[in-house]
Structure 1
Amino acid sequence: MAILKQLGILFGLGIVGIVMFTITSIPLVEQQLAKLSPEILEKVPPLWILMLLQGIQYSILLTISILIGIGCAYRVGLSSHLIDHWVFHTAKSPSFAVEMKWSLGIGAVAAIVILLLDRLMQPALPETLRAANNTEPNWLNLLTAMFYGGITEEILMRWGLMSLLVWIAWKAFKQGTTLPSQGIYQGAIVLAALVFGLLHLPATAAIVPLTPLVIIRALLLNGIVGIAFGWLFWQYSLEAAMLAHISFHVFTPILSGLLARLA
C-alpha cells in the first residue's frame, strides 16, 4: 500500500508535465511531418495517435523512474517531503524554510549564470539556434517548462536516475556503512547531470545539426543546472530540487528581459 501511495503522489505530479509537454510538442511534430515525402507520410499514423503514443511512452518512463526511486532513494538517505508527510506521516521538516531560500536563490543564480554563458556563446552558434533562443516565450511554453522541467524531469533525473546511481555505486564500491560516502553522492550528481544534458540533444538536433560546439553548449548549460538541482536533492529533498528548477524557468525570462534592456 505504501508503494502505491508513493507511486500515486509522484505520478500525479509528473503526469501534468507530460500532458503539457505533449501539447506543446505538436507544432514541432507537425514541422517534422511536413518534411516527409508524400509516400512516407501515407504510412505515418495520424498526428493524434503519434502524440498519444508519445504521452504513453513518457508515462511508462515516469512510472519506471518513480518505482526505481521508491526502491532506492530512502535506502541511500534521499527523501521527499510529500512522501514523508502523506505516506510515512513524519513531522514537517524544521529546515523547510531554509530549503525554500536555498532553492529560490540557486534557481536565480543558475538563471544568471546560464544566461551569461549562453550570451558569450551566441556569436559562435548557428543562426537558427540563435533565433530559437531569442524567441519570446509564451505562457504555455513557460508553464510547460515549469511543470515538465521543474517537476517531471526532477522525478525522472533526480528521484529515479540519481537515486539509482547512488545505490549502485554504494553497493559496488561499499563506501560508507549506514549511508554512502560523499564521493558517491557527488559522482552520482555529476553523472545524472551529464545524462540530463545528453537528453536535451534530440530537441536541439531538431533545430540545428549537432556540431561539437552545439553539443558542448547543451552539456555545459544543462549540466550546470543539473548539478545544482542534484545538490539540493542530496542536501535537502526532492521538493527543493523541484522548486529550484521551477524558479530557474521563472527567473530566466525575467532576467533575460533585463539583460536585453541593459545591452
Structure 2
Amino acid sequence: MVILKQFGILFVLGSVGIVMFTITSIPLIEQQLAKLSPERLEKVPPLWTLMLLQGLQYSVLLAISILIGIGCAYRVGLNSHLIDHWVFHTTKSPSFAIEIKWSLGVGAAAAIVLLLLDRLMQPALPEALRAANNPEPSGLNLLTAMSYGGITEEILLRWGLMSLLVWIVWKVLKQGVTLPSQGIYQGAIVLAALVFGLLHLPATAAIVPLTTVVIIRALLLNGIAGIAFGWLFWQYSLEAAMLAHISVHAFTFVLNGLLARLV
C-alpha cells in the first residue's frame, strides 16, 4: 500500500505533463505527416492513434522511473515532501521557506545564464533552429514546459535516473556507511544532467542536422540546468528541483517578452 501511494502521487503529477506535451505536439506531428508521400502516408496510423501511442510510451517510461525512484531515492537520502506528507505523514520541514527561496533563486539565475548563452550561440546556429528557438509567445506552450519539463522530466531524470545512479555507484564503490559520499552525489548529478541534454537531441534532429555546434549547445544549456536541478534535489527535495525547473521556464518566458519589447 505504501508503494502504491507513492506511485499514485507521482504518476498523477507526471501524467499531467504527458497530456500537455501530447496536445502541444500535435501540430509538429501534422507537419511531419504532411511531408510524407501519399504512398507512405497510407501506411501510417491515424493521428489520434499516433498521439495515443506517444502518450502510452511516455507513461511507461514515467511508471518505470517512479518505481526505480521508490526503490532507490530514500535509501540514498533523497526525498519528496509530497511523499513525506501524504505517505509517511511527517511534519513539514522547518527549512521549507529557505528551500523555496533557493529554488526560485536558482531558477532565476539559471534562466538569465541560459538566455545569455543561447543569445551568444544564436548566430552560429542554423536558421531553422533559430526560428524554432524563438516561437510566438504562447500560454499553452508555457504551461506545457512548466508541467512536462518542470514535473514530468524531474520525475524521470532526478527521481528515477539520478537516484538509481547514486544507489548503483554507492553499492559498487561502498563509499559512505549510512549514506553515499558527496562525490557520488555530485557524479550522479552531472551524469543525469548530461543525459538530460542528450535526450533533447532527437527533437533537435527533427529540425536540423546534428552538427557539433548544435550538440554542444544542447549539452551545455541543458547540462547547466540539469546540474542546478540535481543539486537542489540532493540538498533539499524533489519538489525543490521541480520548482526551480518550473521557474526557469516562467522567468525565461517573461525575460523573452521584455527583450522583444526592447528590441
TM-score after normalising by structure 1: 0.98
* Structure 2 residue 147 is the aligned partner of structure 1 residue 147: yes
Q: For residues 211 and 33 of structure 2, what CA distance do their matches in structure 1 show?
A: 24
Q: Residues 162-241 of structure 1 correspond to what in structure 2 (within 5 A)? A: 162-241=162-241
Q: Residues 1-263 of structure 1 correspond to what in structure 2 (within 5 A)? A: 1-263=1-263
- Amino acid of the residue matched to residue 190 of structure 1? V
- Amino acid of the residue matched to residue 26 of structure 1? I
The superposition leaves residues 29-78 of structure 1 with CA deviations (integer Å, 9 ceiling, x where unpaired) of 11111111111111110000000000001001000000000000000000
Q: For residues 58 and 134 of structure 1, what CA distance do their matches in structure 2 show?
A: 26
Secondary structure of 1:90's partner? coil
Q: For residues 84 and 198 of structure 2, what CA distance do their matches in structure 1 show?
A: 32
Structure 1 residue 227: deviation in Å?
Answer: 0.3
The superposition leaves residues 164-183 of structure 1 with CA deviations (integer Å, 9 ceiling, x where unpaired) of 00000000111111000000
Q: For residues 222 and 262 of structure 1, what CA distance do their matches in structure 2 show?
A: 27
| The 10-residue stretch of structure 1 (227-236 or 252-261) with the greater mean CA deviation from structure 2 | 252-261
Q: For residues 65 and 22 of structure 1, what CA distance do their matches in structure 2 show?
A: 19
Structure 1 residue 85: deviation in Å?
Answer: 0.4
Q: For residues 170 and 23 of structure 2, what CA distance do their matches in structure 1 show?
A: 39
Structure 1 runs not aligned, ≥5 long:
none
Structure 1 residue 261: deviation in Å?
Answer: 4.3
Q: For residues 167 and 23 of structure 1, what CA distance do their matches in structure 2 show?
A: 35
The superposition leaves residues 122-168 of structure 1 with CA deviations (integer Å, 9 ceiling, x where unpaired) of 11111111112222221111000000000000000000000000000
Structure 1 residue 258: deviation in Å?
Answer: 2.7
Q: For residues 131 and 35 of structure 2, what CA distance do their matches in structure 1 show?
A: 20
- Amino acid of the residue matched to residue 221 of structure 1? L
- Amino acid of the residue matched to residue 57 of structure 1? Q
Note the aligned Cα RMSD (angstroms). 0.9
Q: For residues 239 and 260 of structure 1, what CA distance do their matches in structure 2 show?
A: 31
The superposition leaves residues 226-245 of structure 1 with CA deviations (integer Å, 9 ceiling, x where unpaired) of 00000000000000000000
Secondary structure of 2:106's partner? helix
Secondary structure of 1:257's partner? helix
The superposition leaves residues 99-136 of structure 1 with CA deviations (integer Å, 9 ceiling, x where unpaired) of 00000000000000000000000111111111122222
Q: For residues 158 and 88 of structure 2, what CA distance do their matches in structure 1 show?
A: 20
Identity %: 86
TM-score after normalising by structure 2: 0.98
